[in-house]
Structure 1
Amino acid sequence: MCSPQESSMNAVGVRMVTRSRSRGPATGQQGSREKPAPLRREEAAAEGRKSYSPVKRQRKAQRLNVAYEASEGEKGEGAEHLQSPAWEPQDWRQQLENIRAMRSGKDAPVDQLGAEHCYDLSAPPKVRRYQVLLSLMLSSQTKDQVTAGAMQRLRAQGLTVDSILQMDDSTLGTLIYPVGFWRNKVKYIKQTSAILQQRYDGDIPASLAELVALPGVGPKMAHLAMAVAWGTVSGIAVDTHVHRIVNRLRWTKKATKSPEETRRALEEWLPRELWSEINGLLVGFGQQTCLPLRPRCQACLNQALCPAAHGL
């Protein structure tokens, strides 16, 4: 039964409600290991409410976060969800369109030598997925050109889980050199390959949590593996390029200190339909224009819109 106050508010067609929102990045979805890997980069909020009643004496006014719903005549039956403008960076849509325009040529190293281009197209799906994961493991702290060269040498030897496990550490090290931290990567590749053989029949896991649990596989690699190998958008892959550019454009509420912190902040507001695009777009932009040192601001369409442009 409605209180007098509630009846009065319904009469004028609005309702005051407190609101509780929760939102966060989606977790990886379990994929079937039997389906052919798409090997392409492509994939809400619970609303709570509570009412309150007036009290005769209230010593201290209670501050409420309020929003207004349309009256029952303006909405369908059972439409309970409130939508309020979430935080988003100023001018981000125009900045994104400008970056797309600058990247329209698709001629950055990542466009020809990224993880989507390092596997053997003629190999069975399971082997292709393994090669995608290995290329991502090699790519950490390494330029795409160097990673692609290492993958080419490995594939010439027959790049499968079994061939890697049969290869001695010295030979593997020679084949992947000079990728960054190649000695550690020899160890991680051997450990991960053994796990894949023992637990996954030589395939790679189809969930984000299982991928991150593998030796030498970080969040960025896992998100890219989910996208490229399994066709599942599990989150935004953030590397040093994406981390740098997002902070220069002020695409987070406050400056972030690590790629993983940047990923969480970016996923809070960036529409999910853009998650699969943003990594390749910004990585190539960082390779060609928004360089770590001496960025080419004069040639950037975002020069007037970039908060960091005048300070660089």
Structure 2
Amino acid sequence: MMTSPYFVQSSSVVTRSGHQNGAGRTATASLRSRLPDRRRSGAPVCSVEVKVEEQEATISEQRTSSAPSSAGLPELLPQGTEHLKTETNATPLSPHSRRRRQLKVEYDEDGGVSPVKTERWDPPDWKKQLGYIREMRSSRDAPVDNMGAEKCYDTEAPAQVRRFQVLVSLMLSSQTKDQVTAAAMQKLRAHGCTVENILTTDDETLGKIIYPVGFWRTKVKYLKLTAAMLQNEFGGDIPDSVEGLVRLPGVGPKMAHLAMDIAWDQVSGIGVDTHVHRISNRLGWLKKPTKNPEETRKALEEWLPRELWSEINWLLVGFGQQVCLPINPLCSVCLNQHSCPSAHKSSPTKRPKAGSPRSPGAASPLKIKTEPKQESVVQDERKKEEPQHTLVSPATQRRRLKSKV
């Protein structure tokens, strides 16, 4: 049945089955009289209703024109009963002809079509593993808890200065331990960690202040360029969007999402560093292994509930600093050792130094693997190094002894 208000209010209705119901005006007159009124009134009209009604009006016109009529019939019928003869002689269209006349309907937002449901993927036992990680991190005594970006800014400074200090601490933390970053930020705050002071400080002095953070020379350049860009384009404040933050020199997606969370109190994404990247792959929290933190961020955001995006960074970072270490993780004390697919086997073996007897490239005294073109060269070198043992006849040996005597 049609649910359009035009068909409900019309006195003569053309249904999907090809029959007409009601008395009064024909379907064509009803539709034509009501459609302009509705459009002139400015009421919203769904595209589905308009197209279906126009289709029904066209079908009704074709029925009326194709109905047989005899000459002089209007004069013989009483006034007001012309539509009865039309209804009696109208020949319903066959299902095949109606199917060919159907129009392609473009649905609106809802349109009565249910969206295609995609199967949601969740890692096995991830809630149980997350609960165990929370339990192991309950003491909150990891370096990130006491010396992370949330602890490096001056709480008594103006809001604009605090946000800038959060961004600076994130820029200095790249490839640097939290202890070193916290010490550098303490000296920088004592010097004056503001946009104006960074611009007026020469590169040599700024380098001595932040030393020994990783890549400190490059970070001095980035700090100067970022401070100038903030002053010229953002009024001395940091951008309030991920798009604006990643435009700053030396600021990547991880720093941008963390800055949005800490400085602006807005969750825009998951801040994925080397710890989150490593642990997510070890726990099997990804459909397939990822190669870098940015791929891990996108994979985690596909299934991890948004209310956990802010917590997951500091939770996994501290867990990676204390238990799930990059080398030799402490699987024996981890509560997830029975559900983690990488337990007791994820620690990479130490590679011997190049040139040592245990290194992969070192030549074995028993067997040497060479390319076909290098075999002759190696054999020649062996002949030069190995002592020559030749067979000498007894007569030759006696002759040599006589000559020596």
Coarse TM-score class (shorter-chain normalised): 0.7 to 0.9
Task: Show the counterpart of 1:129.
Answer: 163
C-alpha separation between the residues in 1 aligned to 2:259 and 2:197?
21
Amino acid in structure 1 at the alignment position of 2:128: Q
Q: Which amino acid aligns with 1:289?
A: V
2:80 corresponds to: none
Q: Which has the higher contact order (CA 8 A, sep 6+)?
A: 1
3-state SS, counterpart of residue 309 of structure 1:
coil
Residue among 245, 256, 273 paired with 1:211: 245
Equivalent position of 1:243 in the other structure: 277
Give runs of aligned pairs for residues 72-83 of structure 1, distance below 5 A. 80=114
RMSD: 1.9
User: 1-side partners of 2:316 and 2:342: how far apart?
Assistant: 16
Unaligned runs of 5+ in 2: 3-16, 18-95, 97-110, 347-405
CA shift for structure 1 position 201? 1.2
Show CA shifts across 1:28-71 (max 9, x none): xxxxxxxxxxxxxxxxxxxxxxxxxxx9xxxxxxxxxxxxxxxx
In the alignment, structure 1 segments of 5+ residues that lack a partner are 8-54, 56-76
Partner of 1:44: none
Q: What are the residue-to-residue correspondences of 1:146-295 with 2, within 5 Å?
A: 146-295=180-329
Residue 177 of structure 2, aligned match among 143, 147, 152:
143
Q: TM-score, normalised by structure 2?
A: 0.57
SS class of match (1:122)? coil
**1:223-277 CA distance string (max 9 Å, x none):** 0000000001000000000000000001100000000000001101111111010
Q: After the TM superposition, which segments of 4 or more aligned residues of structure 1 sit over 6 Å from their partners?
A: none
Task: Give the counterpart letter for 1:138 in structure 2.
Answer: L
Indicate the SS of the match to 2:251: coil
Output aligned runs, 1:37-48, within 5 Å: none
CA–CA distance in 1 between the matches of 2:113 and 2:192? 57
1:217 partner letter: V
SS in 1 for 2:263: helix
Q: Distance in 2 between matches of 1:293 and 1:241?
A: 12
Residue identity matched to 2:169: S
Q: Distance in 1 between matches of 2:172 and 2:319?
A: 21
How many angstroms apart in 1 are the aligned matches of 2:309 and 2:135? Answer: 18
Alpha-carbon distance, 1:310 to partner = 3.6
Residue 88 of structure 1, CA deviation: 1.1
- 3-state secondary structure, aligned to 1:230: coil
1:302 aligns with 2:336: yes
Question: Within 1, Cα distance between the matches of 2:304 and 2:322?
Answer: 23
> 1:48 corresponds to which residue?
none
Matched with 2:150 is: 116
**1:292 to partner: Cα distance:** 0.1
Specify the structure having the higher radius of gyration (Cα). 2
How many angstroms does 1:311 deviate by? 2.0
Structure having the higher helix fraction is 2
TM-score, normalising length: structure 1: 0.74
SS at match of 1:106: coil
Query: What SS does the aligned partner of 1:247 have?
Result: helix
Q: 1: CA distance between counterparts of 2:236 and 2:113?
A: 48
Shift of 1:183: 0.5
- Alignment size in residue pairs: 240
The structural deviation recorded for 1:161 is 0.3
Tell me which residue corresponds to 1:39.
Answer: none
Give the secondary structure class of the aligned counterpart of 2:237.
Answer: coil
Q: In the superposition, relative to structure 1, how do residues 255 and 127 fare at CA in structure 2: closer, same or farther (>3 Å)?
A: same
Residue identity (%): 68
Q: Deviations along 1:83-112, whole A, 9 cap, x unmatched? A: 554011111010000000000001100001
Deviations 1:282-307 (A, max 9, x none): 00000000000000000000000000
Cα drift, residue 80 of structure 1: 4.3
The 2-side partners of 1:163 and 1:83 are apart by 55
- C-alpha separation in 2, matches of 1:143 and 1:269: 30
Structure 1 residues 248, 118: CA separation in 2 closer, same or farther (over 3 Å shift)?
Answer: same
Mapped partners of 2:112, 2:163: distance in 1: 45
